[in-house]
Structure 1
Amino acid sequence: MESASQAEPLKAPAPEPEELKALVLSVIQGEQDYQVLLNMLEPVTLGVQGLQGDTALTLALLLEEVEQQAELNDQLYALVKDEGAPALALTESGVILAQNPAAQNLFGTSKGEGIARLGVSAQDFRDFQQRIFQYEGPSLLRTFPPLSDPPCDDNTLPLIFIGLYNGEHQTFLLRAVECQWSDSIDKALEDIFQLTDAERDILACLAQGMNSEQISHKRSRAVGTVRQQIKSLLGKMGASSQVQAVALASAIGSQSYAQQSSHSAPQAALSGYPLELGELMRGQRRVGWRRYGANGGKPVLLHGSYFGAGEFPQDREWATRHGLDVIVPERLGYGRSQPPGKGEDILATQVEDCLAVLDALNIPRVYLASHDSGFMYALALANRHPERASGILAMSPSAPFQDKDSLDYLPRQHRVFMWAARHAFWSVRLLIRLGMVQMRKLGPERWMEAVFEGVPHDLEVLQAPSCRQGTLGTYGFNLNQVGKGYELDLEVSMARDWAPLVRQAEVPVCGLVGGKNMATPPNFVRSLQALNPGIVLKEISEAGQTLCLTHTDHCFRLLAECVDGSLEQEHWLLTGGEGLV
């Protein structure tokens, strides 16, 4: 590889600090595209000099501001995607910052409109704020959604919101107090309290803050009839007042909603071959894991990449066909596995997480598979606990970067991140945060454009209809911890020398390399064999970084042979990758 000292000199001036600051803030606020920032930083990554001192200082000082704005973006994004009860985010002046679909449908409002559209007066909003600030806790705000056929003012139906204040971002987050329960809970109310259909509906109306007159209008019944039904349901429930009945109804509704939300199945588990999700606690940390294929078959532990965690149906299908029981501990910072504590070693934590998952599933020994940067973690597990690992099949493996290695061959986005990890690791977090804004801007159907910008072969693979289910599933998997997993991967791969892991590997290691892989091309990956001649590599010329998706059957067939011990490495070396496909 060409050394950094041989690279062409810087051909474009480094960005001016004020220009860079304005651009970063416009990107994090969604006003400009992330690619504009990459264009500005690219000349620095191609030159022999780093960022100028004042430019680097500008970026460093921006980090906290970007983190705060990104945190707000995360909250607003989660709110907008919330499919539950109506929810809103308001500024201190009562302007709508964000709303979920239920609130938008209910009020017909748009971002930027004021509280008057919610049926809230300026004085009511001031009183709501005063209660929060004075008592330092949540408060209630009564709204009046518009009706297609509005009744008289006395019968206008209110909707109560409970609101909290976020002092760091000066915003109010509100969620409607609604009483929603499943059919099974509804049947329980009927069986236990002998409530009629009408009484159960009235109970829900009471929980929403309606009085007898408003319920009368909603149900098109006489007020006297409604009052008699309220009296009847209070007697059946043993409640001395409407307050007690409402408290019970609200508790039932919120509990059933929380249970429904926390146990929702991923899209991948709803069709075709199943994907099992599990988690365990290791100390104070949560560790998530996935399982697919032939449960109880030949055990394989997969260190998956951001597109290799079982979301793609072809993975689950071919694992099952080849009799492989694939266990995927979610890597640190991805999915549900929480990052290690301050000062804890990343590789050691990941290894112990894997062992904890295997022990929980009563699996003593496995064959290891890996995608992309997962190769580092597979090596660490095999080296530290050879009694638990039989060998490694690495798909699209990377190799250790040396200080002398040029990054010029990499696609622009990869090069910017690698350069930042090598020369100014503190800036990685800033770039990742800005990248998350871009991914969310593109949405679940197009998020891969932000990751595979400048890599047309792999982008085309992920945009294929056959991969749609997987790309949708991995969208949430990657954004769940706002890019923390990628930051940890860069810290392991770029900020430390992991070449000793390669040299010390004593278990059999086979690698599949895509000839069209622009991020870790074959010539670069072959440096693994210079570190450890026992490593066997084979190239599939028409594949890229996504070879585990384009050649799924081949990968799992080869993995099954590795697990069985029937792979003849000498034959594999002679035939070449194309001969195996």
Structure 2
Amino acid sequence: MSHETGLSPAGEPLKDDDLKALVMSIIQGKQDYEQLVAFLEPATREQQGLNSDTALTLALLMKEVEQQAELNDQLRALVNDQGAPAVVLSAEGRLLASNPAADSLFGSLPGNDMAKLGIRHDEFDAFQQRIVQHDGPSLLRTYPDTQQQTPLMFIGVYQPLHQIFVLRAIECQWSAAMDHALKEIFLLTDAEREILACLAQGMSSEQISRQRSSSVGTVRQQIKSLLAKLGASSQVQAAALASAIASQPQSAAAKVSPPMALASQPLFREELIRDTRRIGWRRYGKPGGKPVLVLHGAYFGAGELESHRVRASREGLDVVLVERPGYGRTQPPGKKEDVLRTQLEDIAAVLEVLGWSRVWLESHDFGFVPAVALAARWPQRAAGLLAISPPAPYDSEAGFDHIPRYQRMFIWSARHAFWMIRLLLRLGQMKARKYGPEHWMEMVFDEAPHELPFFESPQGRTVSMSAYAFNLQQHSRGHELDMQVVVATDWTPLLSQLRLPVQVITGARNTTFPIEQVQRLTALHAPIQLQVIEDAGLTLSLTHSDACMDALLKLMEGAEPT
């Protein structure tokens, strides 16, 4: 195979149109991400950039990839939506996606014509015209049961970017508390409340009578009683009231989430707002104990391992973990804001809420750089740092052959074409979702299978599923920002500013941050103490959590933070 970038895996020149088709087929789920990795791999091994034509082709694809990925995310969210029947139609009326309620209602399959959904072509055309003319949502009637003339009303919007129509059935459902209020305040009977919901869906007396198997006269009498109790002058007023009640949120968002069910030592999830940005943070261990601030890594969630939480509580540690921008719930900074500075100021805001002036630091893989930056900027706040599986400055001359290829691709992109990071992440998300929450680590450690046995255990599967959402819910933005801070930026000058004890613990089987590279940290900052665990890899914080805790406690021996 030729190592000139711009050739296909078979060694033949790959034309721009072919490359575009390859990328789009991957984002559409028709081909595997592996095809692009194979195409780019020669460049990552030879430490060279892409040829200009290939770089331009991929750069121009970014907008299309983002749009297609956004559409995929919307369709996937709708498929998993457990609410009222909802569907997505193409401009031609083809079904692109539907949620479980719609599947049950219509028995529909992707690719079906709208006629299978009981949508008449003339009414769909009129629906489209109304949206175009009035530039907003409109209503569409469907007839799920062709044997009856009772329609189901949908409200729909058009998304011009993707040329799709998103429709959701109008259902009138309210919480038990709202239902009790209607009963208590207006003295509505069960039957009257059910009829009120039917009115809100636009049903006539005849349609309600058929649904309730009652006579039309009985229904009309119940509607009359209902209107009198509500003080409404018409069915329209009553329906408007019911719709307003049903549209209210079922519950307000809590600032503090409940602890994990059935956990002997719970993980609390909390948040705050700083300059309009949401900052998520987690807490476990013994409240009021020795303060420990954890700077989390890229892949393993945060505080998800229950055995670690139990040990922290037993040792009297009050552990707080601030979710970094792009991970979990913490929103990324603005385009002109410095990422590392934003991370530190987010942490400072949480420490202020807690009233903590001095803490012990623990970092996991990519969390090492913000931990070092925090200790360098505010030396009075950090009593000591335990760095678990930290990254080392990448030596371009040494090459990246030792690093698993997916991770090597990101490192290469950060050095030679940072704009490709987002492209790779979007395509990687497609592959990760094919694996699913329980198995996506098989993709992460494609060339490091020794890291996988932990994730086959019950605890490991729980961590994998939690980490999946923690990483992907913001489209892997956190990993992109990590690449910017840790790989694309020279952070080594921060090491010379450290004035605190630093203990590094790493695994001899860590292929992402090999021991030969990690040892360079001791040359850059002599006081760093290095401990190597022979049978551990990058997943050291999970597989050897007791050893990590022992190292932290040993570091703590001496002066306590105040």
Instruction: Name the TM-score, length of structure 1 as normaliser.
Output: 0.90
Q: Name the structure 2 match of 1:363.
A: 356
Partner of residue 166 from structure 2, selected from 167, 173, 177:
173
Q: Provide closer, same or farther for how the CA distance between residues 117 and 311 of structure 1 changes in structure 2, counting only shifts above 3 A.
A: farther
Q: Contact 1:132–1:165 at 8 Å: present in 2 too?
A: yes
Separation of aligned partners in 2, 1:201 and 1:319:
52
**SS of aligned partner of 2:272:** strand
Comparing 299-308 and 328-337, the one that deviates more = 299-308
Task: Please give the per-residue CA displacement for 1:449-487, whole angstroms capped at 9, x wherever unaligned.
Answer: 222221212222223222222211221111111011111
Q: Describe how 1:320-339 pairs up with structure 2 within 5 A.
A: 320-339=313-332
**SS of aligned partner of 2:329:** coil
Deviating above 6 A after TM superposition, structure 1's stretches of 4 or more consecutive aligned residues are 264-268
Partner of residue 271 from structure 1, selected from 262, 272, 284:
262
Q: Describe how 1:57-96 pairs up with structure 2 within 5 A.
A: 57-96=56-95
Please state if 1:130 is matched with 2:129.
yes
- Residue identity opposite 2:123 in structure 1: D
Please state if 1:153 is matched with 2:148.
yes
Q: Contact 2:301–2:463 at 8 Å: present in 1 too?
A: no
Q: Name the structure 1 match of 2:483.
A: 490
Separation of aligned partners in 2, 1:95 and 1:268:
44
Q: Provide closer, same or farther for how the CA distance between residues 444 and 266 of structure 1 changes in structure 2, counting only shifts above 3 A.
A: farther
TM-superposed CA distance for 1:326, in Å, is 1.5
- Residue identity opposite 1:269 in structure 2: M
Please state if 1:389 is matched with 2:382.
yes
Q: Contact 2:379–2:498 at 8 Å: present in 1 too?
A: no
Q: Name the structure 1 match of 2:11.
A: none
Q: Contact 1:324–1:560 at 8 Å: present in 2 too?
A: no
- Residue identity opposite 2:148 in structure 1: D
- Residue identity opposite 1:342 in structure 2: K
Q: Name the structure 2 match of 1:291.
A: 283
Comparing 467-476 and 26-35, the one that deviates more = 467-476
Separation of aligned partners in 2, 1:438 and 1:230:
54
Please state if 1:348 is matched with 2:341.
yes
Note the aligned Cα RMSD (angstroms): 2.2
Q: Name the structure 1 match of 2:190.
A: 197
Please state if 1:110 is matched with 2:103.
no
Q: Contact 1:10–1:49 at 8 Å: present in 2 too?
A: no
What 5-or-longer segments of structure 2 have no aligned partner? 9-13
- How many pairs align? 552
TM-superposed CA distance for 1:400, in Å, is 1.7
Q: Name the structure 1 match of 2:294.
A: 302
What 5-or-longer segments of structure 1 have no aligned partner? 1-7, 568-581
Separation of aligned partners in 2, 1:327 and 1:234:
55
Q: Contact 1:303–1:375 at 8 Å: present in 2 too?
A: yes
- Residue identity opposite 2:38 in structure 1: N
Q: Provide closer, same or farther for how the CA distance between residues 547 and 217 of structure 1 changes in structure 2, counting only shifts above 3 A.
A: same
- Residue identity opposite 2:328 in structure 1: G
Q: Name the structure 2 match of 1:428.
A: 421
Separation of aligned partners in 2, 1:139 and 1:153:
24
Q: Provide closer, same or farther for how the CA distance between residues 84 and 363 of structure 1 changes in structure 2, counting only shifts above 3 A.
A: farther
- Once the two structures are aligned, what percentage of the paired residues are identical? 55
Q: Contact 1:107–1:118 at 8 Å: present in 2 too?
A: yes
Q: Provide closer, same or farther for how the CA distance between residues 565 and 163 of structure 1 changes in structure 2, counting only shifts above 3 A.
A: farther
Task: Please give the per-residue CA displacement for 1:74-110, whole angstroms capped at 9, x wherever unaligned.
Answer: 2112222222222211110111111122221221111
Q: Describe how 1:215-254 pairs up with structure 2 within 5 A.
A: 215-254=208-247
Separation of aligned partners in 1, 2:76 and 2:131:
24
- Residue identity opposite 1:529 in structure 2: T
Q: Name the structure 2 match of 1:574.
A: none
Q: Describe how 1:7-18 pairs up with structure 2 within 5 A.
A: 10=3, 14-15=7-8, 16-18=14-16
Q: Provide closer, same or farther for how the CA distance between residues 48 and 391 of structure 1 changes in structure 2, counting only shifts above 3 A.
A: closer
Separation of aligned partners in 1, 2:88 and 2:117:
12
Q: Name the structure 1 match of 2:463.
A: 470
Separation of aligned partners in 2, 1:385 and 1:212:
71
TM-superposed CA distance for 1:266, in Å, is 7.8
Separation of aligned partners in 1, 2:24 and 2:540:
37
Task: Please give the per-residue CA displacement for 1:124-145, whole angstroms capped at 9, x wherever unaligned.
Answer: 1111111111111111112222
Q: Provide closer, same or farther for how the CA distance between residues 28 and 87 of structure 1 changes in structure 2, counting only shifts above 3 A.
A: same
Q: Contact 2:6–2:50 at 8 Å: present in 1 too?
A: no
Q: Provide closer, same or farther for how the CA distance between residues 350 and 60 of structure 1 changes in structure 2, counting only shifts above 3 A.
A: same
TM-superposed CA distance for 1:48, in Å, is 4.7
Separation of aligned partners in 1, 2:65 and 2:547:
44
Q: Contact 1:313–1:470 at 8 Å: present in 2 too?
A: no
Please state if 1:504 is matched with 2:497.
yes
Separation of aligned partners in 1, 2:547 and 2:57:
49
- Residue identity opposite 2:269 in structure 1: L
Q: Describe how 1:20-31 pairs up with structure 2 within 5 A.
A: 20-31=19-30
- Residue identity opposite 1:24 in structure 2: V
TM-superposed CA distance for 1:510, in Å, is 0.9
Separation of aligned partners in 2, 1:551 and 1:368:
18
Comparing 352-361 and 464-473, the one that deviates more = 464-473
Comparing 549-558 and 91-100, the one that deviates more = 549-558
